[in-house]
Structure 1
Amino acid sequence: MDADVIVIGAGIVGSACAHELARAGLDVLVLDDRRGGATAAGMGHLVVMDDNPAELALSRHSLAIWRQWADAMAADCAWHPCGTLWLAANDEEMTAAHEKQERLRAHDVGCDLIDAPTLQAWEPALRPGLCGALHVPGDSVVYAPNAARWLLAQHPKQIRVQHAEVLGIDGSRVRLAGNNWLGANAVLLANGIHATQLCPELPIRPKKGHLLITDRYPGQVRHQLVELGYVTSAHHCTGPSVAFNLQPRPTGQLLIGSSRQFDDSAPEVDAEMLAQMLERALSYMPALADLNAIRCWTGLRAATPDSLPLLGPHPQRAGLWLAVGHEGLGVTTAPASARLLAAQITGHRAELDPAPYLPQRFEMAA
């Protein structure tokens, strides 16, 4: 055996899984081909989402773990507890903010409604006329690539990281380029959208997204700003969509999203989609037009049909475990996902009910 568990993928989900498995006393080998994925391309927002009870449970539990990690994380992980303002553009969205507040408070997530004058005082760059917002102070942001590296470095005697291209999986064995084989008691697939190259039967599809970052403008924005229509855009639209999502980075830069295009794997920036995304952002914050943008890029989210990740044993492949399909919440939900996987692999009781996330909820013919 080359390890107790082989983890394929060193993004935030794979790294968190390796960290939790090592914490449970297992010897872990992490294989990564350095192609990059959603971890390097995403916003790194840590936000409690409540589109359904399972999403709320996973994200809420994950943020509690992130807060436990925060004091120990390296400075370059750029942890920033900026909180989130869910913006209500009209009375209907203000009603939605009330409903969101009730759901979050029912699960002990601290949040408060603020009125229009308070919102304008807190974020004066926003356009006048918004009705108010829901403030969730416990949300944060982090620089996910460095957080992933930090997690892997916490257990130097139990976690080994190897640059390797995995070409195939056979139970608890993996075949590398050059036809070399490695074996373990279990193999954990945690490489996001690339997982379908090794397991084409997985029910995940790409959702392409665009991001743009500005030059440094310290103090321009204090909170992560998200329109309440973001949830509809993120999970319920079946075609291309955009929504206003703006994040202040600790550097003083502003990170602007978000867009979604289904089944488009091209890495190139789509000028029309980027323009729509920026037009949406300008409609909420006109002052953005006076700022300098320094880079824009795209990334691919791995989405499942029900927008919940696949966390557990592959229903048809003995020895293979899955931690994929996190869509745009991989950074947020990596900690709780990892604890669920580690508990299942080691035979311990999980802190959350694993049933909503088990891969067996979908039919897969290996």
Structure 2
Amino acid sequence: MTRQIVIVGAGVVGTAVAAELAVLDGFEVTVLERESGAPRGSTSLAPGLVGIYNEAEILTTLARESAEVYSTLGAGFARSGGIEIATSTDSAHELAQRAEHARAAGLLVTETAPGGLPASVAGMVNADHVVAAWYYELDGTAAPAVITAGLRRRAEDSGARFVGGADVVGITSGTRASVRTRDGQTWAADEIVLAAGVWGPTLAGLVGIELPLVPLAHPYVYGPRRPDLHDGPFLRWPENHIYGRVHGDRIGLGTYDHVPVPVEQDGLDQGTGLAWSADLTPMVDKAQLLLDPAFRFEPEERVNGVFAVTPDNLPFLGPHPEASGVWIAQAIWVTHAAGAARALRSALTGTEPLPAPLAVDRFAGRDRQDLTSEALRLYQDIYANDSSASS
């Protein structure tokens, strides 16, 4: 008997899930996307840093598997490596410990002298500020739109159907679930997978679920094009909450060094690209002080994007016990998307249960305002997991 799966959201997460499920015998996969053209979710604005190591073991596993999948697509992903830089002795000590933990997890990490940084990034960094650096060999850089397109081709080649202009306004859970779109169509399903990123709370609300997922605004800027730049490892300055990479022939720079800015669901009507806020400009200017003076720039493009965070910096992945037939794959970045899709496939087919730390109902009974406060607190330490948040 054919098992009908309806996935809501055609960003990198929903498309990765479709690619994993469509190859299975007996599965009929339909992906519903609100936009008629390219999706306007977080995937479209992601800077494409795929850092493998995370303090949460499950995220390291999902990132490792995601990179393996992306490497098979033929385009959109490169094992460029990643470099973490310390600009103080305290930070150097913390990053040395982090590198040791990453090695214990089986990753390739080497300490690099400030004067021995790869040529592709050496000129970008103000060496006067660098105390120590570590190179994560298996990290990579991605073009999220290219990866998503590759996953979609894989899914469609296996029989998945993508439907644009399908704005979901109703979801019925139960033994025979269904999804209703604004144009009046109804899509029957054995299982529904909600993978609409920052719109997760709205979709979950359609089946009576309050999902503690907090969309936040986040600045990322691009400099002018210049011929002396070359692709290479991405950079992180953890103590300063700053990161950057070269995108072909221009520098991209992002910062978490600002007061978190929550975005309500009704503020996402036009997508995840918000109008630039002047309040973010001083933070971007401050971030540029870590660049070599010759590489500082007046941004040619300013992105005020939105991504979703949770109270413990872990995704929501799995079925919700309060809504039979409804599965949730939310708060998942490009870094973990393909790995999360693999894990979801294993759970749907009964091969392997999903990791307990990702349980959709792990915050049940907690005060919503407290959960939001915890998510905001973790914003600046986005690469860390706070296991106490769900205790």
Question: Which bin holds the TM-score, normalised by the shorter protein?
Answer: 0.7 to 0.9
Shift, 1:2, TM fit: 9.9
Answer whether contact 2:15 2:155 (CA < 8 A) is retained: no
In 2, Cα distance between equivalents of 1:2 and 1:213: 47
Q: 1:347 aligns with which of 343, 347, 350?
A: 350
Task: Map 1:1-366 to 2 at 5 A.
Answer: 4-25=4-25, 26-34=27-35, 36-67=40-71, 69=72, 72-74=73-75, 77=76, 79-119=77-117, 123-127=122-126, 128-156=128-156, 157-163=158-164, 164-171=166-173, 172-200=177-205, 201-220=210-229, 222-229=232-239, 243-249=241-247, 251-259=248-256, 261-265=260-264, 267-289=274-296, 291=297, 293-326=299-332, 330-349=333-352, 354-363=355-364
2:20 maps to a residue whose letter is: E
Inter-partner Cα distance in structure 1 for 2:32 and 2:74: 23
Q: Distance in 2 between matches of 1:8 and 1:85?
A: 35
1:234 matched to which residue of 2?
none
| CA drift at 1:3 | 6.6
1: CA distance, partners of 2:137 / 2:229: 18
Rounded Cα–Cα distance in structure 1 between residues aligned with 2:82 and 2:44: 22
Alpha-carbon contact 1:81-1:138 (below 8 Å) kept: yes
Q: Percent identity?
A: 24
**Aligned-partner residue type, residue 261 of structure 2:** F
Q: Deviations over 1:150-186 (max 9, x none)?
A: 1111133421000100001111211111332111110
Distance in structure 2 (CA, Å) of the matches to 1:304 and 1:315 = 19
* Aligned counterparts of 2:2 and 2:169: Cα–Cα separation in 1: 17
1:212-257 CA distance string (max 9 Å, x none): 1123224436321110226xxxxxxxxxxxx3211112x2221111
**Deviation string for 1:27-51 (max 9, x for gaps)?**
2100001251110011111111323
- Report how far residue 120 of structure 1 moved: 8.5
Specify the code of the residue in structure 2 equivalent to 1:286.
Answer: P
* Secondary structure, aligned partner of 1:293: coil
Deviation at 1:292, TM superposition (A): 5.3
Contact 1:312 1:359 (C-alpha < 8 Å) held by counterparts? yes
Structure 1 unaligned residues grouped into runs of 5+: 231-242
Q: State the shift of 1:364 in Å.
A: 7.2
Change (3 A) 1:2 1:193: farther
Q: How many Å separate the matches in 2 of 1:146 and 1:297?
A: 19
Letter in 2 for 1:16: A
Query: Is 175-184 or 211-220 further displaced after alignment?
Result: 211-220
Rate the CA distance shift 1:61–1:120 in 2: closer, same or farther, 3 A.
Answer: closer
Structure 2 counterpart of 1:227, which letter? W
Residue 24 of structure 1 contacts residue 342 of structure 1 at CA under 8 Å; is this kept in 2?
no
The aligned residue for residue 238 of structure 1 is none
CA contact (8 A) 1:3 1:183 kept: no
For residues 155 and 59 of structure 2, what CA distance do their matches in structure 1 show? 29
CA distance in 1, matches of 2:14, 2:115: 44
Aligned length: 340
Q: CA deviation at 1:146?
A: 2.2
CA distance in 1 between partners of 2:276 and 2:18 (Å): 33
1:2–1:184 Cα contact (<8 Å) kept = no
Give the whole-Å Cα distance in 2 for the aligned partners of 1:113 and 1:7: 43
Take 1:154 and 1:120, find their aligned partners in 2: how far apart are those partners?
35
Q: CA deviation at 1:57?
A: 2.6
The structure with the greater share of residues assigned to strand is: 1
The whole-number CA distance in structure 2 between the counterparts of 1:219 and 1:15 is 36
Q: Secondary structure at the match of 2:186?
A: strand
Change (3 A) 1:95 1:27: same
**CA drift at 1:137:** 1.8
Greater CA drift, 15-24 or 124-133: 124-133
The answer for the alignment partner of 2:386 in structure 1 is none
Secondary structure of 1:361 counterpart: coil
